[in-house]
Structure 1
Amino acid sequence: MARPIRIANFSGYLGDRYTALDEAMAGDPVDVLAGDYLAEITLAALAARYRKDPSRGYVEYFLDQIAPHLEAIGDRGLKVVTNAGGFHPAGLAAALRELAPHLHIAHVEGDNVVSRLGEFAAAGHQLENLDTGRPLDSWGVTPMAANAYLGGWGVAAALAEGADIVVCGRVTDASLTAGPAAWWHGWGREDWDALAGAVAAGHIIECGPQAVGGNFSGFTKIADLLTPGFPIAEIAADGSSVITKHARDGGQVTVDTVTAQLVYEIQGPRYLNPDVTVHLDTLRLAAAGADRVALTGVTGSPPPPTTKVAVFGQLGFTIMNTVYATAPDVDAKVALLRAQIGKDLPEGVELDITPLGKAAEDPETQWEATVPVRVMAAAAERAPLVELNLAKRLGSLYLQSIPGFFHDGGGPLTATPRPRIDYWPALLPMSALAHQAVLGDGRTLDIEPPAETALAAQPVHPEPREAPATGRTRRVPLGTVAYARSGDKGGNSNVGVWVRDDRAWHWLRGTLSTMELRRLLPEVKDLEIVRHEFPALRAVHFVLRGLLGTGGSSNLRVDQVGKAVGEYLRAKHVAVPEELLDDAD
């Protein structure tokens, strides 16, 4: 097609706004509707459901979302691409065919490799951990799910064969955009720059309203954020794009809301995808009208020879409750609680007790004097936690512990342990996969691995030698002049920090060194930290290796997946030149 393809997102994760597909159908004209439901932990939950009932394992409420629109989808010639297939894309495709026999439903297979792990081991594939390099057989946990990240060519092949709806499992999030764009424009497997542009656009829209002002540091400047809309990517034949939204919906699309998504959950300037390596440091953003941001200059190179495999296994069990301590003497009260709760623990129980926040110095209300205390217990087996009986243990402290001890009477203390799922991000050669598109008439299309691959190391950016010379400064929160966005990649958290103009960029890049980050965030002072710069985005980006343990599903941190690290950093006080503060006002 000569014109750009318009791809509208309608889901950013399993649990996103239920009415989003209704809104997309009622919004501006588009060519493709793309729904992303999977996070790393989501597949593990769906896998457990699939193991209990082989007819399940997909996102069942997607059927309820799409059912009212199946006639209109056919009438308008719309295409729908989704990874709601989860652990059982064939099952979701079959359910859709029952609801919509007039539509051509295809699905993509090959990501679910848990049954092939023995085969891979016999072939010499060690499924090395992406972070540590250790082989999978050293993990000590029995895998319950293993899903390889597939690219977008299975989606493109199904669309080329006339599919109206393509159901996927664990394709990369950006593949839901790159696959349709490649089909629409007829790209070849080695159109690196065009593919890279589509992957970048897909990365921006994959998380739904985040590109339209949701979860955005500058949310106070976004008009009508009550119900932010979902984004649209208009992708041209050369891979350049415009990010926009439905005109009738709330929120805003700005250079900063798009930047926020670009620096979200990446490992550096090289964004690795099964179809292409994206060079994010060549990318340029520019306002192109109201709620329109142009994305140009993205370059690409061959993908790596391996893809990631998300392997999950049950590490044990956890149980969590929250109780409250009230000023004064909160530190001493928490210390006594820790000692009392930890007394005579059953063997094998790990206890984590974390006070959340600080009481006001001179509280005006009781709640300003109140500090929540999170009590988490973990064990490899369920029995020690049952023996611990955390609810009973906490409930026995009312007359023998700290003054003012209480829990929220709006709900009972939790007594039932929950599974604790560990995560192993493995590497596997793409040549070992059986990537297929399965059409509605039963035909199967084999998707060959990329013919050309290349290893692309992240660039090395030297630390700033010294902070830039400035005139008068004031100590204010970093967030006064900078935005930030953070997220998770397995056991690592990333955080990108950026500013709005070149003068502030000169100050930010010279000030926000790795050493300064360690000073600002004591929690990361002993971690390996990787720092990169994105001059075109005026951003400094950090990967905090191991902050989240081995993954968000198993660590005992309160902010399990690092979503608040960026805002925490923005709350820290730094010396900012007064001239920049004048611009920020």
Structure 2
Amino acid sequence: MTEMVRIGNASGFYGDRFGAVQEMLTGGELDYLTGDYLAELTMLILGRDRMKDPSLGYAKTFLRQMRENLALAVDRGVQVVVNAGGLNPHGLAVALRELAAELKVDARIAFVSGDDLSSRAAELGLGSPLTANAYLGGFGIKNALLHGADVVVTGRITDASLTVGPAAAAFGWTERDLDPIAGAVIAGHVIECGAQATGGNYSFFTEIPMGHLGFPIAELHRDGSSVITKHEGTGGAVTLGTVTSQLLYEVRGPRYYNPDATARLDSVQLTQEGPDRVAISRATGEAPPTDLKVSLNNLAGIRNEVAVVLTGLDIEAKAELFKQQFTDALPARPAELEWTLVRHDRPDAPTEEQASAILHCVARDTDPQKVGRPFANTAVELALASFPGFTLTAPPGNGSPYGIFEPGYVDAELVEHRVTQPDGLTLLIPPSPLRAKPIIDDDDPAADTTVDFGPVTQLPLGTIAGARSGDKGGSANVGVWVRTDEQYQWLDSFLSTDKIAELLPEAADLTIHRYRLPNLRAINFVIEDILGRGVAENVRFDPQAKGLGEWLRSRHVPIPERFID
């Protein structure tokens, strides 16, 4: 019986390195190759594609990758599993069959569907969104693989399900194998974002041989334990740090909910087994939640922006003058008008750019006339009649549509999780019989310790702490970790929600949740509503909060001198 399978990943998002599929297929042994092409913003992009052409709605990049690599995958016996089907997995499956016939490759194609709830959204209490897609589990993929599929394409499944499905097929897991499934969920979460597990977006990147990073592989065992690695000779590294960072990416509390099992992030143990080999063990699984999360995207209106450069003296006075003149001159007032002054300037600057600030004005409205060319032209017309040194960062434009994301939830019994096997037979995949009302993790307060850590020195928090941050709809998470037990004891007592609000003033008036993950020597913070209504709507400087953790690491705090090398 199979005791270990090698599952590699070749895509972390729609737009990731095109050549990674071929690199993974030729770089060493694999049993399965996965690819994650979907994100909240991607679903909106695909939704707009489908509005223009109903035959689209899938990630076209994957079809081009298969033109170059389908024969290679079949020859090597590597089964390919991707969520590139997006809003139209059937359409992508048809295109793949046509491609296989053109290439004269005997490839068996299956697809998983049923996640698209847009036609039923109103009856399910989800409103009338542009897209409505439930996050499905991995057992439809399992069925397709067991029926001989060479390629399985899906719609909106959970990212970790790309790994759960192959593992469940290889090891014959049932819905009752909660601990092994949880282990696959954890391994899938580590490899789902590609090179982020091998050194990409890593706080201590100067310690990693950067360059052309290799993509990650999970060597999964029957009991759900795994080893995260990469093909020999590829760039980057797999270390306790890179794996810890990825485990903290876009998570909430200790419970990581998935349709097939709830994985306990606070149960896992990490061990550096050797160079570029990190073992993950002791994953604990609990019953999956009763409801499935649903990704909802709506077209909200039209957005336009003007940005003017303010140089030299009297920056704030120049900004106020332009705001008043521009607002008074607008032919029609948009529903939303948002101003942001970004101060790049410094006194006695050695370059003009360093002497300048940028004033942004963002307008939103459902009426394109209020935010279109007349809006932008209003700024241009003030060019010779406003503050000294007036200039725009870009010519006027017509504005563009924007969307908003929000999560919904629906009972898994109401979602028809379907798999269409290579022979064309379609089966319904029932939800887990173990489903239960989810246990909501309580916030963890900072530890109350009387330990004296000795003299301190004001230094950036990142001197000793790593971080990884990302978007969760309108919220953001920031996971912070350190390398020793003593450092974690200090971090747990020092880094409270009040301290986060102090170090990140943008979060000062927002709700902040705190979760302790001692096995990872980590604390995860979730900051509600810092991203407004999601990446497609907000115009925050960092709309997906990818740099939020690095901002936190740059803030100066009193670090015990005993921790400083």
TM tier relative to shorter chain: over 0.9
Of 183, 193, 197 in structure 2, the residue corresponding to residue 211 of structure 1 is 197
Which residue is 1:42 aligned to? 42
Other structure's SS at 1:11 match: coil
1:270 corresponds in structure 2 to: 255
Q: Does 1:553 align with 2:536?
A: yes
Is the alpha carbon distance of 1:332 and 1:287 closer, same or farther for their aligned partners in structure 2, counting shifts above 3 Å? farther
Aligned-pair distance for 1:213?
A: 1.0
* 8 Å contact from structure 1 (residues 468, 510) kept in 2: no
- Secondary structure of residue in 2 paired with 1:295: strand
Change in 2 beyond 3 A, CA 1:552/1:93: same
State the Cα distance separating 1:8 from its structure 2 match.
0.9
| Correspondence for 1:365 | 351
Cα distance, 1:203 vs structure 2: 0.6
What residue in structure 1 maps to residue 27 of structure 2?
A: 27
CA contact (8 A) 1:342 1:351 kept: no
Q: Could you tell me which residue of structure 1 aligns to residue 116 of structure 2?
A: 112
| 1:413 positional shift | 1.8
Using a 3 Å threshold, how does the CA distance of structure 1 residues 453 and 365 change in structure 2: closer, same or farther?
Answer: same
**What does residue 452 of structure 1 align with?**
434
Residue 258 of structure 1 pairs with residue 262 of structure 2:
no
> Are 1:492 and 2:478 matched, yes or no?
no
Q: In the TM superposition, what are the counterparts of 1:516-527 in structure 2 within 5 Å?
A: 516-527=499-510
Write out aligned runs for 1:161-200 (5 A): 161-200=147-186
Does 350-359 or 525-534 show the bigger shift? 350-359
SS in 1 for 2:122: helix
C-alpha separation in 1, matches of 2:49 and 2:525: 36
Match of 2:86 in 1: 86
Contact kept, 8 Å, 1:212 with 1:257, in 2: the verdict is: yes
Offset at residue 467 of structure 1 (A) = 8.0
Structure 1 residue 468, shift from structure 2 partner:
5.1
2:394 aligned with 1:415: no
Distance 1:98 1:229 in 2: 31
Distance in 1, matches of 2:322 and 2:454, equals: 49
For residue 432 of structure 1, what is the amino acid of its counterpart? L
Q: Secondary structure at the match of 2:477?
A: strand
Does the C-alpha gap of structure 1 residues 425 and 396 become closer, same or farther in structure 2, counting only changes over 3 Å? Answer: same
**1:166 positional shift:** 0.1
SS of equivalent residue, structure 2 residue 142: helix
Q: SS at 1:180's partner residue? A: helix
Within 2, Cα distance between the matches of 1:342 and 1:533? 47
Change (3 A) 1:401 1:477: farther
Aligned to 1:159: 145
**1:279/1:300 contact within 8 Å kept:** yes
Equivalent in the alignment of 1:286 = 271
Q: Indicate if the aligned counterparts of 1:264 and 1:496 stay in contact, CA closer than 8 A.
A: yes
Q: Describe the shift of the 1:340–1:474 C-alpha distance in structure 2 as closer, same or farther (beyond 3 A).
A: farther
Post-superposition shift, 1:466?
Answer: 6.2
Fraction of identical pairs, as percent: 45
Cα distance between partner residues in 1 of 2:449 and 2:214: 43
Matched residue, 1:334 = 319
Contact 2:304-2:372 at 8 Å conserved across structures: no
Work out whether residues 277 and 456 of structure 1, in 8 Å CA contact, stay in contact via their aligned partners in 2: no
Whether contact under 8 Å (2:334, 2:363) holds in the other structure is: no
Quick one: distance in 1 between partners of 2:265 and 2:401?
A: 38
Structure 1 residue 304 corresponds to structure 2 residue 289: yes
Structure 1: which 4+ aligned runs deviate by more than 4 Å?
A: none
Paired residue type of 2:49: R
Confirm or deny: 8 A CA contact 2:373 2:397 kept in the other structure: no
Cα distance between partner residues in 2 of 1:467 and 1:216: 33
| 1:419-458 equivalence runs, <5 A | 419-454=401-436, 455-458=438-441
Q: Which amino acid is the alignment partner of residue 48 of structure 2?
A: A
2:395 alignment partner AA: L
Residues 175 and 434, structure 2, Cα contact 8 Å, conserved in 1: no
Q: 1:323 to 1:227 in 2, by over 3 A?
A: farther
Change (3 A) 1:98 1:467: farther
CA distance in 1, matches of 2:356, 2:233: 42
After superposition, give the CA deviation of every residue in 1:318-354 in whole Å (9 maximum; x if it has no partner).
1134432233433333333333333344233422232
**2:372 partner SS:** helix
After superposing the two structures, state which structure 1 stretch, 262-271 or 214-223, moved more: 214-223
Per-residue CA distance 1:487-521 (angstroms, 9 max, x = gap): 11111111101111112111111100011111111
1:245 to 230, 235, 256: 230
Tell me, which stretches of 5 or more residues in structure 1 are unaligned? 121-125, 127-135
Alignment partner for residue 445 of structure 2, among 456, 462, 474?
462
Which residues of structure 2 form unaligned runs of 5+?
Answer: none
1:403 to 377, 380, 388: 388
Q: Which residue of 1 aligns with 2:455?
A: 472
> 1:351 maps to what in 2?
337
Q: C-alpha distance in 2, partners of 1:34/1:248?
A: 21
For residue 441 of structure 1, report the CA deviation from its aligned partner. Answer: 1.8
Q: Per-residue displacement from partner, 1:552-581 (whole Å, max 9, x unpaired)?
A: 222232322211211111111111111112
Q: Does structure 2 retain, via aligned residues, the 8 Å contact 1:496–1:566?
A: yes
- Residue 72 of structure 1 is matched in structure 2 by 72
CA distance in 1, matches of 2:70, 2:539: 43
Change (3 A) 1:328 1:219: farther
TM-score, length-scaled by structure 2: 0.95
Give the AA of the match of 1:497: V
For 1:97, the equivalent position in structure 2 comes to: 97
**Residue among 294, 304, 310 paired with 1:319:** 304
Question: C-alpha separation between the residues in 2 aligned to 1:59 and 1:336?
Answer: 47
Separation (CA, whole Å) in 2 of partners of 1:326 and 1:3: 66
Indicate how the Cα distance of structure 1 residues 93 and 457 shifts in structure 2: closer, same or farther if over 3 A, else same. same
Give 1:73 deviation, angstroms: 1.3
Work out whether residues 230 and 238 of structure 2, in 8 Å CA contact, stay in contact via their aligned partners in 1: yes
Q: Which amino acid aligns with 2:375?
A: N
| C-alpha displacement of 1:423 | 1.6
> How far 1:238 moved relative to its partner?
0.6
CA gap of 1:98–1:556, structure 2 versus 1, over 3 A, is same
Q: Is the 8 A contact 2:161 2:188 kept in 1?
A: yes
- Cα gap change, 1:358 to 1:538, in 2 (>3 Å): same
Contact persistence 1:467–1:510 (CA under 8 A): no
Write the distance in 2 (CA, Å) between the matches of 1:13 and 1:373.
32
- Name the amino acid aligned to 1:82: V
C-alpha spacing 1:336/1:499, structure 2 compared with 1 (3 Å):
farther
Q: What RMSD in Å do the two structures reach over aligned CA positions?
A: 1.7
Deviates further, 82-91 or 547-556: 547-556
- Residues 121-143 of structure 1: per-residue CA shift (max 9 Å, x gap): xxxxx4xxxxxxxxx45xxxx41
1:129 corresponds to which residue?
Answer: none
Q: Which deviates more from structure 2 when the two are superposed, residues 412-421 or residues 253-262?
A: 412-421
CA contact (8 A) 1:58 1:88 kept: yes
Q: Encode CA deviations 1:81-113: one digit per residue, 9 max, x unaligned.
A: 001111100000001001114110000010001
CA distance in 1, matches of 2:208, 2:315: 38
Question: Is the Cα contact below 8 Å between 1:9 and 1:232 reproduced in 2?
Answer: yes
Aligned pairs for 1:496-575 within 5 A: 496-575=479-558
**Offset at residue 357 of structure 1 (A):** 4.6
Match of 1:133 in 2: none
Aligned length: 559
Match of 1:55 in 2: 55
Find the aligned partners of 2:395 and 2:3 in 1 and give their Cα distance: 58
Give the secondary-structure state (helix, strand or coil) at the position aligned to 1:288.
strand
Query: Matched residues in 2 for 1:166 and 1:467: separation?
Result: 55
| AA partner of residue 415 (structure 2) | L
